[in-house]
Chains A and B, each alone.
Chain A
Amino acid sequence: MNYTKMGMNEKEYTEYVESKAEKSSLLKNCIIAFIIGGLICVIGQVITDIAMSYGLEKKLASSVSTISLIFIGALLTTLKLYQVLGKFAGAGSIVPITGFSNSIVSPAIEYKSEGFVLGIGANMFKVAGPVLVYGVCASVVYGLIYYMSKIFF
């Protein structure tokens, strides 16, 4: 809209706000994300190695690890600890699979007040749903390309 009293247009105002706004400390955030994200991955590796030491083949062991991490993420979310971790670690706890778990469990808990079907059931994938939609669609596109290339080359 056109507002001239402050003598700034939208672009100038946005730039003015940006110049005065507090910036989050990128370096500090990145270091924390690196450490926490790295540690979660190490936990995943440890679980995989333990599962393999019990004689599971690599693929199954990796499934065990995924399930365990999702369980840990869900448990910490239920105990209200993942929100504390997330505040501190940022992408370090969003990007690993535990963050995927957190984004499924948190709306499920939140929308419980609206019932089991339309509350929990309908809202569980409010945040994580797009991940499945785009992940699956991308894999199908990749599959088509791969299939075509197999036929023609």
Chain B
Amino acid sequence: MDLFLTYLKVFITGGIICTIGQVIIDKTKLTPARILVLFVVLGVVLTGLDIYKPIVDFGGSGATVPISGFGYALANGVKEEIDKNGLLGIFTGGITATSAGITAAIVFGYLGALISKSNIKK
């Protein structure tokens, strides 16, 4: 039952974040690139204001999987590195914390391009 409740929380949190994105797309005609930028910056800002952490504690992956979670990871990484190494942490924290995602995207993107040819799905 606990497990079900956890997943329900994840589902609802993730669903709500995506729904906010959908409302912005339909109401403002923002392109996907702008939506992604908006969400990642919002993720950083909300983390800075200590609002995003409680959402992550409640929704788990529901808050970390959306691209705003990428902003959360960046901001959190910077914060932790500053606590550990001081000023230099501003520069090392963000990318260190998100390195797995960035590297994976580059590598899988490159491999995908190697094996695939652009086409429309019929």
Contacts and interface: CB of A to CB of B under 8 A. Distances in A.
A and B touch in the complex (CB under 8 A): yes
Interface of A: 24, 26, 29-30, 33-42, 44-46, 48, 62-63, 65-67, 69-71, 74-75, 77-78, 80-81, 83-84, 90-92, 94-97, 99-101, 103-105, 108-110, 112-113, 120, 124, 127-128, 130-132, 134-136, 138-140, 142-147, 150
Contacts of B105: 70, 74, 100-101, 104-105, 128
B interface, by DSSP: helix, strand, loop or mixed?
A: helix
B62 A120 contact: no
Interface string B57-89: 001111011111111001101110010001101
B90 A83 contact: no
Question: A24, A69, A108, A143 — which one has the most chain B CB atoms within 10 A of its CB?
Answer: A143
B87 A30 contact: no
Contacts of B79: 142-143, 146
Given A45-B7, A71-B104, A135-B40, 20 more contacts: A29-B22, A33-B19, A34-B18, A41-B66, A42-B11, A42-B14, A67-B100, A83-B121, A91-B18, A94-B32, A95-B35, A99-B36, A105-B105, A105-B108, A112-B118, A120-B113, A131-B70, A135-B71, A139-B77, A140-B94
Given A77-B112, A143-B89, A67 B74 contact: no
Interface string B106-122: 10111111011111110
A26 B22 CA distance: 8
Contacts of B115: 78
